Amino acid sequence: MTEEKAREPQERGRERRERILDAAFTTFAERGYRDTAIDDIARGSETSKGGVYFHFPTKEAIFRELMRTTADRLDAKVTRAVADEPDPIAAAAIAIRTVLELFAGHRRMARLLFLDAFGAGRVFHDEVDRLHTRFADRITGYLDRAVADGVIPPLDTRVAGQAWFGALNEIVARWLMAEKPGHLLDAYPTLLALLLRSVGVGEPTVATLLAAGEERG
């Protein structure tokens, strides 16, 4: 209290807002959207119900913002990891590995993005659609470049992007649901090889990229 008074009121507000988002993140990921009450979020962020409603108009808005910022963070991380890689196929490989690594380390994040769906109903559909489209489009982008570079033969890259994302998505989802989940990254070599071959990347390149992954890991 005393310290807080010293800060700019604006900053105090932003901090509170952040605390609410944090609490919401945790609770949504643990109990799901429907089973999370505003009261839980208020308690978790050491605010009151009214406090929450000062910063966010509805429960749905909190969820939406959370989904988007989480996706943003994921996106940023991938972008950074891929930044210096000129080869689109290698970039895709790195992107996939980064995603798996991130989820492996932040199971909660994965739960929010992949499974929290349950209970959120319509609200979630929109947001998940946006999320899936966004990542699938990104993959499509890599593949388009790869086609343009002549690295892989031409193909319907939109469908391929969706298929790649779907494959990745399912691997993560199964891992999340597993009672005794192993290491998510164990699936990486197989998955990467599958994806690369699927778009016609030659075996030598596949081997090279897998080796690169080994080194990094």
Residues in the chain: 217
> If binding is defined by CB under 7 A, does position 5 make contact with DNA?
yes
| Shortest Å distance, C-beta 154 to DNA | 48
Rounded to the nearest 5 percent, the helix, strand and coil shares of the chain are 80, 0, 20
Dihedral sign from CA coordinates of 94, 167, 188, 27 = positive
Distance CA 163, CA 154 (A): 16
Angle between helical axes of 122-148 and 88-105 (0-180°, round to 10): 150
CA distance 148 to 62: 41
- Site membership for DNA, residue 97 (CB under 7 A): no
Using CB under 7 A as the binding rule, whether residue 119 contacts DNA is answered as no
Residue 100 interacts, among a copy of itself, DNA, none and using kind-specific CB cut-offs from 5 to 8 Å, with none
**Rounded-to-integer distance, Cα 211 and Cα 217, Å:** 10
Pick from 178, 75, 60: which is nearest to 127 by CA?
60
Q: How far is the CB of 30 from DNA (least distance, A)?
A: 14
User: Is residue 114 involved in binding a copy of itself (CB under 8 A)?
Assistant: no
Provide the mask over 53-82, with x wherever binding to DNA is found by CB under 7 A and - wherever it is not: xxx-xxxx----------------------
Q: Find out whether 127 and 33 touch, Cβ atoms under 8 Å.
A: no
Residue 199 interacting partner from a copy of itself, DNA, none (CB closer than 5 to 8 Å by kind): a copy of itself
Among 148, 152, 135, 147, residue whose Cα is nearest residue 196: 152
Select 66 or 199, whichever has its Cβ closest to a copy of itself.
199
Please check whether residue 66 is in contact with residue 22, taking contact to mean a CB–CB distance below 8 angstroms: no
What's the token pair of residue 83?
């930044």
Nearer to a copy of itself, 19 or 117 (CB): 117
Question: Between residues 67 and 81, which has the closer beta carbon with respect to DNA?
Answer: 67
The reply on whether position 4 binds DNA by CB under 7 A is yes
Lookup result for tokens 């990104």: 138
As measured in angstroms, the least distance from the Cβ of 8 to a copy of itself is: 18
Q: Which of 27, 28, 47, 97 binds DNA (CB under 7 A)?
A: 47
Binding site for DNA (CB under 7 A): 1, 4-5, 9-10, 12-13, 16, 35-39, 47-51, 53-55, 57-60
Binding site for a copy of itself (CB under 8 A): 31-32, 34-35, 115, 117-122, 124-125, 128-129, 132-133, 136, 155-156, 159-160, 162-171, 173-174, 177, 187, 190-191, 193-195, 197-200
